Structure 1
């Protein structure tokens, strides 16, 4: 199946936002840069999923779906992949993780209530809290400058819980790639329970773990902490555009309140295509995913070794899940700042309003598009860029060559 992941598809001719020139330019100022930003992969889906999509397209009738086996497919999946024993009455099918979280925040808190969000943070979490007129309570993760790894700051969390109503968690964490141990999740839940803080856990990257993964749903149940989990096939099987997710509950009263709100908003149904693709993926995707994870880890090792050997100024923070991670470019920042002083036209914010100094450097000087670290929490994270390595090795090799050349030029021009 390696040939499937090495297969190049021209996505510029599709509706892909990842490969859209205007979107790429908004990140880095260069519309021709190779995109390594938004979190979708460049791989074809599970062959059985592709076949079902083809059959459905050829039928040319896309009416309302009736698929009573959806929950069963998901329940079998989490039992096999995560060893989770769930019942159908814990499961609510939803139209997407973000709208599910937004509805839950609206249900479980009032305006001005404090919502804890770990930082660096997936930016839509911050936007969501602000849009709902809740009070954002940032929880910065600790960062080890020597080991180049993030970890949870427990003392800070305890303080924040004294005022907060909700913790909006992300497990595995985006963008750091952290996978939390059962011990860590138990401590998290006990502190939250002590202060009556409800945890909403976004576990959209859970299937893409490189080691054992424990869902907060299970730990919440054991500890008595109020916890709700959102999962989805979107990142796992590269079908994010189909907007299909699963929301999981331990508390039946909360589940019923959530279902009622979905009914009030007429958000209870998923599309025919989304339903077909998601159900098929859960039924047939295990071997595909196993090979995908091996391919991703090979890509990650290649990136790490290439940077270590040729650009030691850039540190790859090795994730424990998914196809995204952060690159620590602290050693490059002073040189990039000199380049900005010498060539301000390359770093104009109007050309890349969604970027920062590093994404502009890589976009302009290497023709590679990354999410800038500031996108995940402001200037405190300006030393980082996020790389999406869920793409063909040939794309990564080309990007690494360009980065090596750009950094060599930077050092030659500005290092005395």
Structure 2
């Protein structure tokens, strides 16, 4: 692979990309002119071998129903090679998108009114799943140390909330905090869940992008006698999120049979021709690309750490242990942003950006940087955070940070007198 593969420009404007769609950006950043650093897909070309597969598939000219006898085994080979996890192919169910699987499992494992626990801040669709299915959301707030700017699991709160829940939707590695959980963490989690009869759905979509060893929850849950399902996908790993392809891995055969039956009832048992060929090509040939990607992402993290320390001391970059998204603590500037909003109510009018919040509007308007507002991850208690997607070329990150620095200087010069 060429040395500058990840630094080369990729023009996504004018494509079908939701990340780069001006109307969507307007909805969170109050201006469609803001450069997108929000939704979790990357601006890098997929692995060359995957692109070659996609081109060859397109050129075949016939896009019928796919059938691959070895797709479960191919995933198992990946799990063994990447995570030293031995998976029985018979326990693997191929699905479309991760959220479809999680929603179906939530529907199967609970009934209306049942408590479903979700650690917060949370990937927002988890919260929507609970509400859409008319379950009771049991929010499990992560602990946040305002000195070290680190999140952690609140074990006492977890044991207490288990009494109110039948199901836990867990995200490992965690989005948006960037936490990567140790084997000890997962052992404790599954032991407590078992004691209270709580079933766990573990979303491990960012597992392949961990910067240190990833431990899948399912085998640990098995050892503890805790019922769990692990969901994984190549989508974030290889930047093919638009091709909905995922897997659900079971230890409980009865639950697996029920899940497969539900997929059949809803005619959700088939993946598309393109998603299948692209996903399998990624698992089979994409690892060298992934290794280089992980190096590039960690270089981007170092760039951001250095820039924040030298030029943005009023913001706190929460260093992630995985993937390409990071939370930023903006609590030191929130009062100044509130003053800016009071002085310019027409700019900050929520009607113009219904999917945003105070901080996403500020950075959109004043820095032309589109970020996910912290409120998207669990409400007003996270209003002092934003999430930054650094899965893009480092030169764009640096330029965005410079604009953010200037925006904060504007705040301080205008409202700190």
Same fold (TM over 0.5): yes
> 1:224 aligns to what?
225
1:234 Cα deviation (Å)? Answer: 0.4
Structure 2 residue aligned with 1:48: 49
Provide the C-alpha distance between the structure 2 equivalents of 1:69 and 1:391, rounded to a whole number of angstroms. 33
- Gapped runs of 5+ residues in structure 2? none
Task: Identify the residue that residue 298 of structure 2 maps to in structure 1.
Answer: 297
State yes or no: 1:145 paired with 2:146. yes
SS in 1 for 2:326: strand
* Map of 1:308 onto structure 2: 309
Q: CA deviation at 1:163?
A: 2.2
1:52-67 counterparts in 2 under 5 A? 52-67=53-68
1:129-278 to 2 correspondences below 5 Å: 129-278=130-279
Is 1:287 the counterpart of 2:293 in the alignment? no
Q: What are the superposed Cα offsets for residues 139-171 of structure 1, whole Å, 9 maximum, x if unpaired?
A: 000000111010111111111111211001010
The residue that corresponds to 1:15 in the other structure is 16
1:65 to partner: Cα distance = 0.6
Instruction: Give the Å deviation of 1:249.
Output: 0.4
Distance in 2 separating the partners of 1:145 and 1:33: 29
Whole-Å Cα distance in 2 between the matches of residues 323 and 339 of structure 1?
30
Q: Deviations over 1:237-284 (max 9, x none)?
A: 001111000000011111111011111111111011000000000001
Alpha-carbon RMSD: 0.8
Correspondence for 1:106: 107
- Give deviations 1:24-73, integer Å, cap 9, x for gaps: 00011110100000000000101110001001111111001111121121
TM superposition shift of 1:13: 1.7
Map of 1:392 onto structure 2: 393
Work out whether residues 143 and 153 of structure 2, in 8 Å CA contact, stay in contact via their aligned partners in 1: yes
Separation (CA, whole Å) in 1 of partners of 2:57 and 2:287: 22
Q: Is the 8 A contact 2:163 2:196 kept in 1?
A: yes
* 2:32 paired residue number: 31
- Give the Cα separation in 2 of the matches to 1:101 and 1:254: 13
- Counterpart position of 1:403: 404
What secondary structure sits across from 1:313 in the alignment?
Answer: coil
Write the deviation string for residues 198-251 of structure 1: whole angstroms up to 9, x where unpaired: 000100000000011100011111111101010000000001111000000011
What pairs up with 1:302-381 in 2 under 5 angstroms? 302-381=303-382
Q: TM-score, normalised by structure 2?
A: 0.99
| Structure 1 stretch displaced more, 64-73 or 246-255 | 64-73
Secondary structure in 2 aligned to 1:412? Answer: helix
CA–CA separation in structure 2 for the residues paired with 1:147 and 1:398: 27
Q: Determine the C-alpha separation between the residues in 2 that align with 1:117 and 1:52.
A: 38
Q: Is 1:2–1:295's contact at 8 Å kept on the other side of the alignment?
A: no
SS in 1 for 2:42: coil
SS of alignment partner, residue 408 of structure 2: helix
Count of residues in correspondence between the two structures: 416
For residue 412 of structure 1, report the CA deviation from its aligned partner.
1.0
Aligned-pair CA distance for 1:2: 3.8
Partner of 1:76: 77
In structure 1, runs of 5+ residues without a counterpart are none
CA distance in 2, matches of 1:300, 1:334: 27
Moved more, 344-353 or 93-102: 344-353
Q: For residues 404 and 2 of structure 1, what CA distance do their matches in structure 2 show?
A: 30
2-structure distance, mates of 1:100, 1:19: 27
Q: Distance in 2 between matches of 1:302 and 1:322?
A: 15
With 191-200 and 331-340 compared, the bigger mean Cα shift is at: 331-340
Q: Is the 8 A contact 2:138 2:164 kept in 1?
A: no
Alignment partners' CA distance in 1, 2:28 and 2:277: 34
CA separation in 1, counterparts of 2:386 and 2:41?
Answer: 16
